[in-house]
Amino acid sequence: MIAAYKALIKRYALALCASAAVGTFAWFCAGSLAKYRIEQRLTTIHKELRAAQVEPNTQIDKVMRSLGSFDRSGEECSAGQYAHIADLVKNYRFIYQAAVQLENGKICSSYGREISSVSIGSASSRTSIQGRSYEVSSGQDVTADQDFIIVSEQSIYVWINRKILLDNLNIPQGVQLELRGPDGVSSVTPVGRGPLKLQALPPLGKLGTSPDKVYVAFAGNRDELTSVISLPLSDLTALRWKLFIGLVLMFGALLFIAWKTQRYYTSTAVRLRKAIRANQLAVHYQPIVNLCTGDLVGAEALSRWRFKGVSVPADVFIVAAEQSDLIRELTRSVIRQVAEDYSTYLWACKNFYVTVNISAQDIQDQTFADFVASITATYNMPASAIVFEVTERALLDQKSAAIQLHRLRACGHRIAIDDFGTGYSSLSLIESVPVDILKIDRSFIAHEKIAGKDALWRHIAKIAQALKLKVVAEGVETRQQLPHLASEGVLLAQGWLFSKELSVQALARRHFQPPMNVDPYAE
C-alpha cells in the first residue's frame, strides 16, 4: 500500500517537474519571441514612416533646406517671399508657422507680416544638434492653447504642431514617437503624453525596455537625431502571455503525440505484429489422451510468445491480436507451423490429429479454407490431421459460420466446439453448425463441481452421445476426476494430470512411449 502511494507520488512529482520545466522553457521562449515580434513591429512602423516620406526628421530637413535658399539681403520681405513661406506652411500640415530673419534683423512670418521676435527659451531648455535647435514650447507667440516644437537653424524658425504632426504621420494607436538628441529629448509625442524617461538608449534597431515602455531607437537622416518608437510595456507582457499559452498548448500537444506514439510502438499489438512477422511465436502441444488406453490421440496447438525473456499469457496476446485484426496472420502462422511440425515429427503418428484454435475473423475470412487447403497440400498433410476448435463467441453469425465450417469439413477437417457450455446458445449451435467434437470447459469439471449428480457437464456428455459427437474433457488436473468422467462415457481428456503443453519433439517422443497410466485408482 505504502509502496503504491510512493509510486503515485513519484509519478505525480515527475509529472509536476516535467510541467514546471516545460512551463519555464515556454515562458522564456515566449519572452524572446514576444520581444522579437515587438522589435519587428516597431521596425516596420519606422520603415513605413520613412517610406511615406513623413518621418519627422526628413520633413524638417526639407523645410529647412527650402527656407535656407531664401535671399535675406533685402530691407523687407517681398510679397513673393511671404507667399513662398506661406506655401511651405500650407504644404506641411504639421507646420504651424515659419519665419525667416533677414540680415537686417527683421523677421518675416508665414502670416504675411513681420514679427518682432521669436521667444525661445534659454539654451538649457533647448536641444541643440549641429546648429539646429529644438525646443518644446507652449507656443504663446502663435496661439495659446497649442503645444509646439520650435525648430530653429541659422535664423530660420519652424513651429511644429506636435499633435497635427502625429495625426499626419498616421501612427498606429498606442505607438509613441519621439525625436531624441544626444543630450535631451525633443518629443513629438501628443500633448499630455510625456516623453519617455529613458536612462540610455539601446543600440540602434534593438529593443529596449523602461519601467512602462518598450522601444526601439532608429537613426534619423541627421545622425545625431534619433527616432524612438515605443509601445506600452503592457503590450509586450500581453503578447508574451499569448505566446506562452500558445507554446504551452503546442508543447502539450507535442508531448501528447509523443506519448501516444510511444504507447503505440510499445503496445502489445505492435510488438506482436513484429513477433509474428519475425516468426518469434512458438507452437506448443498439449496432449489429448484416450482415457481407456492411455494413448495420445492428438494434441491441442497452443501459441506461446516470449517477449524479452518473459512469457506473455496466451489470452492476453490472443485478445490483442483479435482486437487489432492480427489474429488472421497469427492463425495462419500457427497452421503453417503445425503443418511443418507434422511433416517433420508427427507424420508417423498413426491417426494422430492436432487441434488448432480459430477465431471469428478466421471464420469470416472467405480465403481461409483455400489457405488451409494450400498448406496441407504443400506439406502433404492429411486434412483429417487438423481439427479446428471454435468457441461459441466466434460463431455469433451462425449462418455464415456454418457455410465456412462446411467448406472446411468438406476438405476432411473436423470441427470442435471449444469451452462448450460457457456461451448462451450452445444447444442451438450444435444444430446449426457442423460439429464433430465437444470440448467441455474445465470450469464444469472442476474438483468441487464434477461430482454433482445433476452437474451440467453430465448433460453435455449425454447430448454428445445422443448426437454421436466425441467429447473431450478439458483441464483435468487430478485422478479423482477420472472415475466421474468414465461414468459418463467421456473417453478423451486433456489437462495437467497428463501433461502440460510440450514442444513438438517432446510430443513425438511421448507418443511412441508406452501408454500413460490412466487408471483412476492408481497411486
139 binds, among Ca ion, ligand C2E, none (CB under 5 to 8 A by kind): none
Among 389, 392, 488, 501, binds Ca ion (CB under 5 A): 389
At how many degrees (to 10) do helices 398-410 and 368-378 cross?
A: 20
Using CA atoms, how far residue 298 sits from 106, 275, 485, 489, in Å, is 129, 27, 19, 19
Q: Looking up cell 541627421, which residue turns up?
A: 222
Q: Are 251 and 26 in contact (CB under 8 A)?
A: yes
Nearest distance from residue 321's CB to ligand C2E, in Å? 8
Nine-digit cell string for 266: 510499445
Q: Are 254 and 234 in contact (CB under 8 A)?
A: no
Instruction: Report the residue number, 82 or 368, with the smaller CB distance to Ca ion.
Output: 368
The mark string for 247-286 relative to Ca ion (x by CB under 5 A, - otherwise) is ----------------------------------------
Bridge partners for 355 per DSSP: 300, 387
* C-beta closer to ligand C2E: residue 82 or 379: 379
Q: How far is the CB of 440 from ligand C2E (least distance, A)?
A: 11
Least separation in angstroms between residue 349's CB and ligand C2E is 20
Report the C-alpha gap between 2 and 9 in whole angstroms: 10
Q: Which residue, 423 or 475, is less far from ligand C2E as judged by CB?
A: 475
Partnered with residue 389 across adjacent β-strands are 357, 416
Among Ca ion, ligand C2E, none, what binds residue 315 when CB lies within 5 to 8 Å by partner kind? ligand C2E
* Near Ca ion in 196-215, by CB under 5 A: none
> Which amino acid appears at position 97 of this protein?
Q
Phi and psi dihedrals of 227, rounded to 5? Answer: -90, 125
Partners of 115 in the beta sheet?
107
Q: Which position among 141, 418, 488, 501 is part of the footprint of Ca ion (CB under 5 A)?
A: 418
Q: Which is nearer to Ca ion, 404 or 494 (CB)?
A: 494
DSSP conformation class of 393: G
228 forms bridges with which residues in the sheet? 178, 217
- Helix-, strand-, coil-residue percentages of the chain, each rounded to 5: 45, 20, 35
Contact (Cβ atoms closer than 8 angstroms) between residue 356 and residue 302: no
Closer Cβ to Ca ion, 230 or 494, answer by number: 494
Q: Using the rule CB under 5 A, give the single segment among 115-123, 330-338, 399-407, 470-478 that binds Ca ion.
A: 470-478
Structural contact between residues 132 and 97, judged by C-beta atoms closer than 8 angstroms: no
Task: Provide the minimum distance between the beta carbon of 320 and ligand C2E in the complex, in angstroms, as a whole number.
Answer: 11
Toward Ca ion, which CB reaches closer, 109 or 303?
A: 303
Q: Minimum distance between the CB of residue 305 and Ca ion, rounded to whole angstroms? A: 16
Q: Is 419 in the site for Ca ion (CB under 5 A)?
A: yes
Burial of 162 (0-12, 13-18, 19+ CB in 10 A): buried
* Among ligand C2E, Ca ion, none, residue 318 binds (CB under 5-8 Å by kind): ligand C2E
Angle at CA 31, nearest 5°, toward 27 and 33? 115
Residue 59 or 331 having the CB closest to ligand C2E: 331
Residue 365 Cβ vs ligand C2E, minimum distance, rounded to whole Å: 13
416 binds, among ligand C2E, Ca ion, none (CB under 5 to 8 A by kind): none
Give the residues lining the site for ligand C2E (CB under 6 A): 286, 302-303, 313-315, 318, 331, 334, 357-359, 418-419, 442, 475, 477, 495-496, 501
> Please, are residues 440 and 461 in contact by the beta-carbon 8 Å criterion?
yes
CB closer to ligand C2E out of 376 and 391: 391
472 binds, among Ca ion, ligand C2E, none (CB under 5 to 8 A by kind): none
Taking the complex as a whole, how short is the minimal distance between the CB of residue 493 and ligand C2E, in angstroms?
A: 9
User: Min. distance of Cβ 394 from ligand C2E in angstroms?
Assistant: 8
- Binding partner selected for residue 208 from ligand C2E, Ca ion, none, CB under the kind-specific 5 to 8 Å limit: none
Task: Dump the DSSP string for 415-458.
Answer: EEEEEETSSS-HHHHHHHS--SEEEE-TTTTSHHHHT-TT-HHH
DSSP annotation string for 95-161: EEEEEEE-TTS-EEETTSSEES------GGGSEEETTEEEEEE--TTT-TT--EEEEEETTEEEEEE
CB closer to ligand C2E out of 141 and 501: 501
Q: Which is nearer to ligand C2E, 128 or 357 (CB)?
A: 357
Instruction: Give least dist CB 318 to ligand C2E, A.
Output: 4
The separation between CA 55 and the C-alpha centre of its own chain, rounded to angstroms, equals: 48
Using the minimum distance from each CB to ligand C2E, give the nearer residue, 272 or 508: 272
The stretch among 24-32, 132-140, 166-174, 386-394 that binds Ca ion (CB under 5 A) is 386-394
Query: Which of Ca ion, ligand C2E, none is residue 286 near (CB under 5 to 8 Å by kind)?
Result: ligand C2E
Q: Can residue 357 be called a binding residue for Ca ion (CB under 5 A)?
A: yes
Q: Which residues contact 395 (CB under 8 A, 6 or more apart)?
A: 360, 363, 401, 429, 433
Please report, as ranges, the residues that interact with Ca ion according to CB under 5 A: 357, 389, 418-419, 474
